[in-house]
């Protein structure tokens, strides 16, 4: 039976940020997640933007958290060694109606204490973004909307938390929460019971199902799907900034922006669903992305797409970001309504939840050994030729390029498989290293990654998965089929 001080349910951006924050105290922190890897759900399928909070509902907790988070990212990115770029965003108005909305948007930004939002003329915007529709009349410039590698953000939070003493139990689904005398005492999971003094519900898309276990599901969560295009790095029509449409009540709208690694990202849609497992892309959804983004960037060439994907936002009904504690369910913190700005708010939510736990009586003793620095895997494609040569001498596996599109070596893949939060699936390797994210989408490296995973994990290739159990890559051996063919 595992005993822990704080059990964090959910290893997405928020859960991992909370875990990292809590390791600053002398506490045992345990993070559980039903998935086979950290990364959560929405945290691994979003637009990778660090928001300013300029368009959050003013006066809300969400607004506070996002506005507070934004300036923290520069240091965080350095500490965790994750790619981060301060590209800035523009919000162009093309019609008179949109033009008339600009003052209200600026006003809203001010109410949210995002003061550095500027008006720009159409001409100025076109200079910044030559591919913008020439019908642009004017717009807003929001300089602190930035882009990040969302996968590495979560992996880095988790690795740093683990480095500082947290433990991560993956493939572990919470099935019940135990209470005694009005306070939580632990959780039942698919991997056994966990005794916990405090429990934090950071389960995102599934937070309502966790809340139900303590009778606090006075809200529901439905998935709001967002479909995206990723365009080839060589696409002709690019943008330099995040190009935003005028937001509506339902969604920030369909944007076009660079990704931190040089692709273009186009999307997302906003479709309310019921099935929390429906990650499919649809012809209609993708077509609507094209239609809307053409109004911003008429020359966008979606034929240069290398892949499309869906993310599921955790949409709370009723809306609103909540961090709740209860008198009748003590030692339990419930997060809900983390949607669209969760990636950004993760850093401040981590601190806010730690503070909340202290507020409800969690004993605190500072951990002087806490080290905020996490070192990433040395990246061959970021090194100079001299550094690459040096790296190969130290580790010859760095001399074998496996992913040709993104220039990723076997050395890095082997490292990823043996890191403290190991990559155990094809997608886990992909998220950490980008092997398989290039234009050939794993056509070249895929067969090799499968082989390397099997070798390094010491398991038959038939057991290598793309991600979750059941997503087997290989059905069996062609010859010498003595290994059990898998399910």
**To the nearest whole angstrom, how small is the minimum distance from the Cβ of residue 67 to other proteins?**
35
Query: Which two tokens mark 75?
Result: 């240091």
**To the nearest whole angstrom, how small is the minimum distance from the Cβ of residue 391 to other proteins?**
9
Calculate Rg over the CA atoms of the chain.
Answer: 23
Query: Tokens 């105290």 sit at which residue?
Result: 25
**To the nearest whole angstrom, how small is the minimum distance from the Cβ of residue 416 to other proteins?**
18
Q: How far is CA 108 from CA 102, 114, 228, in A?
A: 10, 9, 27
Distance from C-alpha of 187 to C-alpha of 202, rounded to nearest angstrom: 14
Query: Tokens 């009540």 sit at which residue?
Result: 249
Q: Which helix (H) or strand (E) holds 120?
A: strand 118-121
- Nearer Cβ to other proteins (44/146): 44
Cis? peptide before 268, omega within 30° of 0: yes
- Nearer Cβ to other proteins (325/407): 407
Q: For binding to other proteins (CB under 8 A), which residues are involved? A: 230, 234, 277, 279-283, 285-286, 305-309, 385-386, 388-389, 392-393, 396-401, 404-405, 407, 409, 426, 439-444, 446-447, 450-451, 461, 465-480
20 φ, ψ to 5°?
-60, -45
Distance from C-alpha of 297 to C-alpha of 232, rounded to nearest angstrom: 16
- Nearer Cβ to other proteins (123/389): 389
**To the nearest whole angstrom, how small is the minimum distance from the Cβ of residue 252 to other proteins?**
23
- Nearer Cβ to other proteins (196/417): 417
- Nearer Cβ to other proteins (326/472): 472
Give yes or no: 51 in active site: yes
3-state secondary structure of 311: strand
Burial 157-184 (b: 16+ CB within 10 A, else e): bbbbbbbbbbebbbbbbbeebbbeeebb
**To the nearest whole angstrom, how small is the minimum distance from the Cβ of residue 206 to other proteins?**
16
- Nearer Cβ to other proteins (368/480): 480
Furthest-apart CA pair in the chain: how many Å? 71
Residue pair 422/438 in contact (Cβ under 8 Å)? The answer is: no
**To the nearest whole angstrom, how small is the minimum distance from the Cβ of residue 282 to other proteins?**
5
Distance from C-alpha of 313 to C-alpha of 225, rounded to nearest angstrom: 6
Q: Which amino acids are annotated catalytic?
A: 51
């Amino acid at each position: 039976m595992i005993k822990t001080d704080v059990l964090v349910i959910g290893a997405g951006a928020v859960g991992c940020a909370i875990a990292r924050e809590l390791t600053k105290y002398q506490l045992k922190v345990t993070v559980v997640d039903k998935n086979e890897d950290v990364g959560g759900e929405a945290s691994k399928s979003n637009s990778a933007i660090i928001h300013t909070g300029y368009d959050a509902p003013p006066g809300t907790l969400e607004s506070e958290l996002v506005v507070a988070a934004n300036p923290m990212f520069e240091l965080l990115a350095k500490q965790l060694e994750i790619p981060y770029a301060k590209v800035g965003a523009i919000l162009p108005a093309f019609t008179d109606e949109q033009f008339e909305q600009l003052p209200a948007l600026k006003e809203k930004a001010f109410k949210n204490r995002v003061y550095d939002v500027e008006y720009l003329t159409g001409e100025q915007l076109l200079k910044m973004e030559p591919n913008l529709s020439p019908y642009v009349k004017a717009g807003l410039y929001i300089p602190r909307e930035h882009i990040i590698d969302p996968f590495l953000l979560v992996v880095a939070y988790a690795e740093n938390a683990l480095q500082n003493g947290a433990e991560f139990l993956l493939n572990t689904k919470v099935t019940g929460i135990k209470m005694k005398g009005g306070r939580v005492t632990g959780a039942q999971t698919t991997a056994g019971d966990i005794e916990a003094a405090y429990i934090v519900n950071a389960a995102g898309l599934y937070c309502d199902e966790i809340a139900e276990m303590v009778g606090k599901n006075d809200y529901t969560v439905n998935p709001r799907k967002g479909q995206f295009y990723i365009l080839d790095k060589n696409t002709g029509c690019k943008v330099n900034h995040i190009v935003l449409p005028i937001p509506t009540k339902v969604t920030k709208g369909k944007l076009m922006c660079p990704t931190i690694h040089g692709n273009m990202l186009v999307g997302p849609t906003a479709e309310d669903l019921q099935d929390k497992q429906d990650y499919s892309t649809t012809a209609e959804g993708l077509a609507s992305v094209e239609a809307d983004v053409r109004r911003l960037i008429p020359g966008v060439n979606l034929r240069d797409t290398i892949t499309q994907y869906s993310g599921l936002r955790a949409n709370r009904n009723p809306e609103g970001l909540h961090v709740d504690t209860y008198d009748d369910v003590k030692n339990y913190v419930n997060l809900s309504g983390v949607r669209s700005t969760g990636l950004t708010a993760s850093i401040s939510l981590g601190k806010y939840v730690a503070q909340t736990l202290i507020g409800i009586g969690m004993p605190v003793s500072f951990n002087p050994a806490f080290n905020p620095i996490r070192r990433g895997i040395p990246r061959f494609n970021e090194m100079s030729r001299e550094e690459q040569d040096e790296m190969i001498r130290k580790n010859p596996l760095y001399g074998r390029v496996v992913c040709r599109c993104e220039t990723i070596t076997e050395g890095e893949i082997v490292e990823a498989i043996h890191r403290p939060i190991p990559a155990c699936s094809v997608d886990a390797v992909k998220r950490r290293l980008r092997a398989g994210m290039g234009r050939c989408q794993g056509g070249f490296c895929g067969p090799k990654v499968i082989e390397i995973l099997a070798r390094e994990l010491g398991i038959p290739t038939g057991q290598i998965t793309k991600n979750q159990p059941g997503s087997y890559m290989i059905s069996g051996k062609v010859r010498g089929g003595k290994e059990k063919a898998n399910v």
